[in-house]
Amino acid sequence: MKVNGKHYRTIWMEGHQVKMIHQNKLPFCFEIFESENHLQTCHAIKTMIVRGAGAIGAAAGFAMAQACREAQEQHNYFEYIRKAKTTIESTRPTAQNLFYAVKEAFDAGMQSADKAVERAQELAENNADEMKKIGETGNSLIHQKMNIATHCNAGWLAFVDYGSALAPVFEARRSGKDVFVYADETRPRNQGARLTAWELHQENIPHAIIPDNANAWLMSQGKIDIMITGADRIAANGDVANKIGTLEKALAAKEYGVPFYVAAPLSTFDFDCVSGNDIVIENRSEEEVLWQEGPDKDGGFHRIRTANPESKALNPAFDVTPAKYITGLITAHGVISPTRTDIRQLKDFL
C-alpha cells in the first residue's frame, strides 16, 4: 500500500520489534505502533491496534517468534513458548488465521528461535503474495461501470498487503475499470467508515460510506451489481464467519439476485471445522456499542456516550453466513463454489 507516496505494509518485524500501522488511530492520524515483546503484540491484537484476518495471523506468528527469542533468556525454553502460545491464542477466538500462524511458528520454534522467526517472516510474505493473486482472480468478476458493495474492512489493513475483498477492486481500478464502491460503515467499530473509506481514498476510487442498514434498500433499487466481503473463518462445508452484519447482507443479496462473493486466503479455511455451528463467535465489550470515539481539537481522541446511560448492550463481533447464500469463494487458486468437495481440494495447496 502507498500512504502519502510511500509504500508500507500493515505489519512487519524488524529485529525483536514488531511494527504495525496503528489502526485505531486511522483515518485521523497515521502512526506506527512498535511492539517490544510478545505480550505487547498480544495487546495490539486484542485491542485491535492490528485487526483483520491476515494481519492478525501475521501478528500472531510474529508474537510467537518474539516469544521464542525471549525464551532463549529463560530457564526453561519449551515451557516459556508453550505458555506464550496459549496466551497468543487467547487474544481473539474467531479468526482461523491466528491459530494457523501460531501453530506454524510454534512448531518451527520447537527447533530454534531463529527457525520461528524465519517461519513467521515466511508466513507474512506468503500472505502478501496470496492476496495479490486474489486481486487478480477477483478482477475477472468485475466489469466496467460496476457498483460494488463491501462490509467491514478487508483491504490492505486487514492483511500484510493488498487485502482480500478489496484486492479485486484495487486491481480492477489499476487495470482501467471505472468502478464505484459502497462501503458499509460497519458498526460498532466503524471499520468501513474509518478504514475501507480511507483506503479507497488513498487509491482514488470513487465511493460512498453508507449506513449498515442501507444495503438491502440499495440492492432492491438495482444500485449494487456485486458484493464482496472477506472472512475470518471458513468451515469445511463453506459456511463463513465474518464481521457482524455480513449475514443480513447475504440474505438481502440472495433476495435481490446480487452475486455475493467471499475472498480469503488458504489460512482462513478451517478444514477441521465441520460447519459454521462449530465456529466460536467472539463477544466483545459493550463499551464499543455504547460509546464512540473521534479526534478532538487538540489532536487527541475523545470518547462520548451515544446511547441511553441506563442501558446495557450486547456485542457479538461476528456472524456466520451459510454456504447456500454465497455465490463463490475468491481464492488465489481461482473462484470456487462453497462446497465440501471444492474446499477439500484447496488443502493440497497448503
User: Which CATH number fits the domain that encloses residue 303?
Assistant: 3.40.50.10470
Q: Which of 184, 212, 232, 239 is catalytic?
A: 232
Nine-digit cell at 62? 510474529
- What does 40-104 look like in DSSP terms, one character per residue? HHHHHHHTTSS-SHHHHHHHHHHHHHHHHHHHTTSS-HHHHHHHHHHHHHTS-SS-HHHHHHHHH
The 10 Å Cβ neighbour count of residue 112 is: 13
| Cell representation of residue 338 | 462453497
Residues 223 and 332 in one domain: yes
- What confidence score (pLDDT) does residue 87 get? 98
103 and 218, same domain (yes or no) = no
For residue 43 the three cell numbers come to 495487546
C-alpha distances (whole Å) from 310 to each of 284, 285, 288, 303, 306 are 19, 16, 16, 17, 12
Report pLDDT for 162: 94
Of 84, 109, 131, the residue at which a domain comes to its end is 131
Does 125 lie in the same domain as 140? no
Distance CA 164, CA 335 (A): 13
Q: Are residues 110 and 202 in the same domain?
A: no
Closest CA to 58 of 13, 17, 92, 24: 13
Q: How many CB atoms lie within 10 A of CB 297?
A: 6
The x, y and z cell numbers of residue 41, run together, are 503484540
Classify residue 176 by its DSSP letter. T
Look at residue 148 in the predicted model and tell me its pLDDT.
Answer: 98
Cα 222 from chain centre:
28
Please, how many CA atoms are within 13 Å of residue 331, restricted to the half-sphere of its CB? 22
Whether residue 115 is found in the same domain as residue 225: no
Q: Which of 81, 110, 131 finishes a domain?
A: 131
Answer yes or no: do 281 and 328 share one domain.
yes
Q: What was the pLDDT predicted at 90? A: 97
- 184 shares a domain with 316: yes
Q: What is the pLDDT of residue 297?
A: 80
232 is catalytic: yes
Which triple of cell numbers denotes residue 82?
A: 508453550
State yes or no: cis peptide before 211, omega within 30 of 0.
no
- The CATH number of residue 90's host domain is 1.20.120.420
Residue 290 has phi, psi (to 5 degrees) of -85, -20
Does 140 lie in the same domain as 120? no
Q: What's the predicted TM-score (pTM) here?
A: 0.95
Residue 301: what pLDDT? 85
Residue type, 84: A
* CB neighbours of residue 199 within 10 Å: 26
Q: Pull the grid cell for residue 307.
A: 446511547
pLDDT tens, the chain, 350 aa long:
878 878 999 999 999 999 999 999 999 999 999 999 999 999 999 999 999 999 999 999 999 999 999 999 998 999 999 999 999 999 999 999 999 999 999 999 999 999 999 999 999 999 999 999 999 999 999 999 999 999 999 999 999 999 999 999 999 999 999 999 999 999 999 999 999 999 999 999 999 999 999 999 999 999 999 999 999 999 999 999 999 999 999 999 999 999 999 999 999 999 999 999 999 999 999 999 999 988 888 778 889 999 999 999 999 999 999 999 999 999 999 999 999 999 999 999 98
Count of domains forming the chain: 2
Q: What is the sign of the dihedral through the CA atoms of 23, 27, 28 and 29? A: positive
Residues 8 and 124 in one domain: yes
Which of 131, 161, 190 terminates a domain? The answer is: 131
Among 282, 343, 256, CA closest to 95: 282
Question: What pLDDT is recorded for position 2?
Answer: 79
Q: How far apart are CA 110 and CA 119, in angstroms?
A: 12
Domain that includes residue 92, residue range: 2-131
- Could you give the 3-state DSSP secondary structure of residue 247? helix
First to last CA, the chain: 26
Q: Based on the domain organization, do 217 and 311 belong to the same domain?
A: yes
Q: Are residues 264 and 148 in the same domain?
A: yes
Please check whether residues 127 and 162 belong to one and the same domain: no
Q: What is the pLDDT of residue 49?
A: 98
Specify the pLDDT at position 6. 86
H or E element in which residue 150 lies: strand 147-150
Strand pairing category for 180-184 and 147-150: parallel
